[in-house]
């Protein structure tokens, strides 16, 4: 694997590990936020083995609804929520 690609996946692993302790939408947006985002954040590792969904479940989040594995909303332990749409992260329940 080229060095640049290897570094990319290491960054994704760090983000996923941080998401495992996210207690609210603000945490998720802090971890995945970028000025280049369409929404409030973006997960660049959506083609990998691990998912935002799995990391947030480990952090105690629950599902609000799901249309597909790439379109769902989850609620945090603090009551806030995020909507995930093909890697884009939006604050709140955007159903």
What is the reported pLDDT for 47?
A: 77
pTM summary value:
0.89
Residue 50: how many CA atoms within 13 Å on its side-chain side? 20
93: burial class by Cβ within 10 Å (0-12, 13-18, 19+)? middle
Give pLDDT tens digits for 26-74: 999 999 997 777 899 999 998 777 899 999 999 999 999 999 999 999 9
Mean pLDDT computed over 65-85: 97
């Amino acid at each position: 694997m080229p060095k640049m690609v290897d570094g990319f996946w290491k960054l994704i692993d760090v983000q996923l590990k941080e998401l495992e302790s996210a207690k609210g939408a603000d945490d998720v947006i802090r971890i995945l936020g970028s000025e280049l985002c369409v929404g409030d954040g973006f997960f660049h590792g959506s083609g990998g083995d691990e998912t935002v969904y799995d990391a947030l479940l480990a952090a105690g989040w629950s599902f609000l609804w799901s249309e597909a594995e790439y379109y769902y909303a989850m609620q945090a332990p603090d009551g806030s929520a995020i909507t995930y749409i093909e890697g884009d992260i939006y604050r709140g329940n955007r159903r």
